[in-house]
Every structure is written in structure tokens, then in C-alpha cells.
Copies of this chain bind each other. A is one copy, B any other.
Amino acid sequence: MSAEPAPAPPQLPTATGYALLGLLSFGRELSGYELKQWADGSLRFFWSAPAMSQVYRELERLAESGFVEQRSVVRDGTRSTKVYRLAPAGDAAVRAWLAEIPEPPVLKHPIALRVFFGHLLDPADLRRAVEAHRNWCEQVLHDLNTVRDDLGDDPAWRNAALVAEWGMEYYHGDLEAVARVEQAAIDEAAPGASPA
């Protein structure tokens, strides 16, 4: 008959939780804010980056379940920050998750959608969409390039560098494929109607 609150059943993390565990597995002790920054600078290129509020919620759950250890530190000045470190249970959990057969990839490609529904857009709108997509890809390529440079040839970041390189090829290929499909789609829409 204890009056203590029932211990939370250690439920398994969500995909986002596992991703945070993965980031913590590099050994650093990080705050929610820092984890979000890092996710935005790495995971977002090939997985997804959760909202800030989601990061905090997940960290709380991970701490409740014993997958991470939480403590408050005073870093510089007087303010205290909560920082998180991977616990042994968290290490085991994320390893087990990654060893599972993966889910299929998820792709939502707005240009492919617009080509598919091409009869509902006029060529100018399609071109505007392609241009926005191209700008976005170029920004991503620029960011990835910076990331790649920052990683250098430190063996500790070799895998991250590999993925950054993969990402650059990927988005480069996307750019090329979109250009091809745009040309074909617009040619179809107005055969022979080339601009003066």
C-alpha cells in the first residue's frame, strides 16, 4: 500500500524518440535546444526534424522510461539548463530498433504530384512550382555542402560525411530529374508552341 505515484510503464520510444537516442549515442550530453539544432543540421536531410516542442516532450518521456538520464547544469552565468545523457537502456533500445527490418522509405514529391495532375495546372504554374522546388534544393545542397566541410575527414564523423555526400548526390539527381520531367510535361502541354 504505497502512496507513491505508480511508476510510468517504460513504453517504447516513438521514431522521433529513437532518433534522439541516436544523436545522444555519439556520447555528448546535450540540452533539448541543442538536440533540435543538431537534428535540423543533420537528420532533416534524410529523415525528419521534429518540432522543438516535440523534442522536449520526447526527452521527458525518454527520461521517465529510463532511456536517458537528465540533470540540471549551470553552464555559463546563472541560468540552469537541463541536459540529457544516453542511459544503458537507451543505448540497447536504439540499437535494437536500428537492427529491425526497416520500414519502407517515405517520399512526398510535390513536383511529381503536379506533373501527375498536370491537366489541372497551366505550364506557368508548373514552372513556378519547379522554380520553388529548385530553389529549395539548391538551399539544401548549399547547407549540405557546409555540413560536409565541417565534418572534415575526422573518422568519428565518417558515417555522417558519407550520408552528407549521399544527400548531395541525391538532391543533385532530383534537380536533374525534375528538369527533365518539366521539359517533357511542358512540351506535351504545348507541342510546337515554343516562346518567341
Contact = CB atoms under 8 A, between A and B. Distances in A.
Report the contact-size class of chain A (Cβ under 8 Å from the partner): 35 or more
A141 to B, nearest CB: 13
Interface SS of chain A: helix
Interface string A85-120: 000000100110011011111111111111111111
A57 B104 CA distance: 25
Contact of A125 (B91, B99, B104, B158): B99
Of A102, A118, A181, the most chain B CB neighbours within 10 A belong to: A102
A75 interface: no
A188 B163 CA distance: 13
How many copies of this protein are present in the complex? 2
Interface in A150-193: 158-160, 162-163, 166-167, 169-170, 173-174, 177, 180-181, 184-185, 188
A121 interface: yes
A121 B106 contact: no
Nearest to A184: B162
Contacts of A113: 19, 22, 43, 46-47, 98, 102
Interface stretch (A29-37, A59-67, A76-84, A126-134): A126-134
Contacts of A167: 112
Interface-central residue, A48, A95, A159, by most chain B CB under 10 Å: A159
Given A98-B113, A102-B111, A105-B107, 14 more contacts: A22-B113, A25-B117, A42-B116, A48-B108, A95-B120, A98-B114, A99-B128, A102-B113, A105-B108, A106-B108, A116-B160, A158-B188, A159-B188, A169-B177
